[in-house]
Structure 1
């Protein structure tokens, strides 16, 4: 019995040594053919793909940032525009094919209509945020996980056959504008009709330029905006900022005036403390008092907020509260101001500022809201 046990152990030991020597020789002498043209052996492909699927299943638990409404059309459009510039070069989009060069990659990036498969929203979020090693699939270019959901919403719409080639072309159409480089594409989201992103026409040029620079240099977090800003040269940022800031903010109407939420929002915005000035002191409406904060040297560093998008303001206040937002001057002041805000207070502040007319600083008259209306900056060239 003991002799048999020793024989088994010796055999296993010999096999382990032989395996180690074979593996070492494969690495040392380059015995494994890494040619993309040769491809993987069938067992190797099976092992890699099965490991990939099981790994996603194991690690893709509930994300730290909860999913928003993934059926929100504005969120889907935002994801579609980001995908068009950041992902379509490998995965194409509905109605278009991958290039011959992309199809020559190994592993071959699947067309997006195939890639979405049956992945759950949580699994799609994990794949987009984490990336996949040795596959050409990059990680999300930011530590923020919340803006990944826009792309997840778009991919779910593809799963549900809601993104036809015609719809894809409509979402990503670029207007024919007499404007600086990049303005036509930026206007698709920032032209005044898109939720979840800021209106740039109510910002000052200095603030827009500072924000783009912070995104480009990685000092401000957003996978979507860091990618967009990285496609611009530093000397192009000023012209783009001045072009957007030079558009007059259109009047806004709202039917929410007089609600308890707006009352709370105004109270919070106008109430300062010994440590933190009132929101209105820096962001309006009305005269902004920067005394004690650096005075004139901070002009253009505190953006006006009247008429800004509500969903965008909620997201930004959460980021300030959680210590994620930064990158521009005086960001430490905002972190202090927001660190103790409750969710109800964040929503009230955002609702009040969003309900204001950007031109007058007053609650807009009841009526049809600005969001969802056609903006001339977004009309396609052949409209």
Structure 2
């Protein structure tokens, strides 16, 4: 037994010495032009697959609206901007630079075939070490990730014509209208309307994204290509100098209206700052009336869960949203989204 233990100890010492020699003298060639030693690539790929399957969330985490066209469209536009450089899109080959990476990023049409939505969610959120695949830039913004996953799931049966219908050739700064619509009049339920915001509110939001004070994996990617002058130009292009007008509708017994107009002991009346019918002297905040139901609900959950920041009233919003139940959020989203908002443009 002692002899066997001594032999194992000696082998372990030799292994450590060999490893230290390879590292210390640079014997392992890290050039991207050279492949791994035999077997290393297979071991790493198997480790990756098993790691994803072990850690991915359960089926219950997949949103019921994963196949919603608005989700797929939003995910497609973000993918086109942030991911297509490496993985390409249906009908378009990978670039020569992408093909020179080691390991080589798979074409998206092939990459999605082996994975379920819950697996793709984990990969997009966490990224993959030693591959160049980054994790999602904004912690806690799972809804953004699910929109990308919705697109990736749709890719499994997507033709090049389907891809062009989703994104066309819309890239760069002009891509603002791809998500937010012409003149900022978005019809995508997961994207805010800009036409009912002021220029100053749009500039403030973009500045908060740029500084990292308002996390968003999608918007932080967009603003990374903008400077202060671009941000000011976009504020002027999509916003208005004055707050758009909107009047408070007649009373009703809707729970959303009751909560929005009267509040509770823990939740101040939303309309006091956001309108419509904003109280005189109250600190003005961005308009909510006329925004889509999905967008309002998502933002309220982010505030409640401590995942949203930005602006001088951030602490007030966090305290107010902390007391909201899921039912409260749904009721507020239903009521505000049902209101007509006069465009600022």
Instruction: Give the TM-score, by structure 1 length.
Output: 0.81
**1:40-86 deviations in Å (ceiling 9; x for gaps):** 13311111111111111122234997534111110000000000000
Alignment partner, residue 245 of structure 1 = 239
| Residues 282 and 290 in structure 1, CA contact (< 8 A), matched pair in contact too | no
Q: Establish whether residue 164 from structure 1 lines up as the match of residue 155 from structure 2.
A: no
Contact kept in structure 1, 2:179 and 2:188, CA below 8 Å: yes
Q: Is the 8 A contact 1:216 1:226 kept in 2?
A: yes
Summarize deviations over 1:6-33 as a string: whole Å, max 9, x none.
Answer: 2211211111111111001000011111
Q: Which residue of 1 aligns with 2:321?
A: 338
1:376 aligns with none
Give the drift of 1:169: 1.3
TM-score by length of 2: 0.90
| Structure-1 separation of matches of 2:169 and 2:328 | 37
Residues 273-303 of structure 1, C-alpha deviation per residue, up to 9 Å, x if partnerless?
Answer: 5775421111111244344x4xxxxx5xx11
Query: 1:274 and 1:346, CA in 2 relative to 1: closer, same or farther beyond 3 A?
Result: closer
The gaps in structure 1 that reach 5 residues or longer are: 251-256, 294-298, 361-383
> Per the alignment, do residues 339 and 189 of structure 1 end up closer, same or farther by CA in structure 2, a change over 3 Å counting?
same
Matched, 1:152 2:163: no
Alignment of 1:108-187 (within 5 A): 108-144=104-140, 145-159=142-156, 161=157, 163-173=158-168, 182=173, 184-187=174-177
- What CA RMSD, in Å, does the superposition of the two structures yield over aligned residues? 2.8
Deviation string 1:73-116 (CA, Å, 9 cap, x unpaired) is: 10000000000000000000011111111101100011101111
Of the candidates 280, 283, 293, which is equivalent to residue 289 of structure 1? 280
Shift of the 340–245 alpha-carbon distance from structure 1 to 2, 3 Å rule, reads same
Q: Indicate the residue corresponding to 1:230 in structure 2.
A: 224
SS at structure 2 position matched to 1:42: coil
Alpha-carbon distance between aligned partners in 1 of 2:277 and 2:208, rounded to the nearest angstrom: 28
After TM superposition, list the pairs within 5 Å mapping 1:1-383 onto structure 2.
Answer: 5-62=1-58, 67-144=63-140, 145-159=142-156, 161=157, 163-173=158-168, 182=173, 184-191=174-181, 192-246=186-240, 263-272=254-263, 277-291=268-282, 293=283, 299=284, 302-359=285-342
Consecutive unaligned residues of structure 2, counting only runs of 5 or more, are none
Distance 1:174 1:249 in 2: 33
Check the 8 A contact 1:282/1:289 in 2, yes or no: no
- Aligned equivalents of 2:138, 2:49: Cα separation in 1: 24
User: How far, CA to CA, are the matches of 1:149 and 1:249 in structure 2?
Assistant: 33
Q: Quick one: higher RCO (CA 8 Å, sep 6+), 1 or 2?
A: 1
| Change over 3 Å in CA distance of 1:65–1:216 after alignment to 2 | farther
SS in 2 for 1:147: helix
Give CA-to-partner distance per residue, 1:333-361, whole Å, 9 cap, x none. Answer: 1112211111111111111111111029x
Distance, in Å, in 2 between the alignment partners of 1:247 and 1:190 is 19
Aligned partners of 2:197 and 2:240 also within 8 Å: no
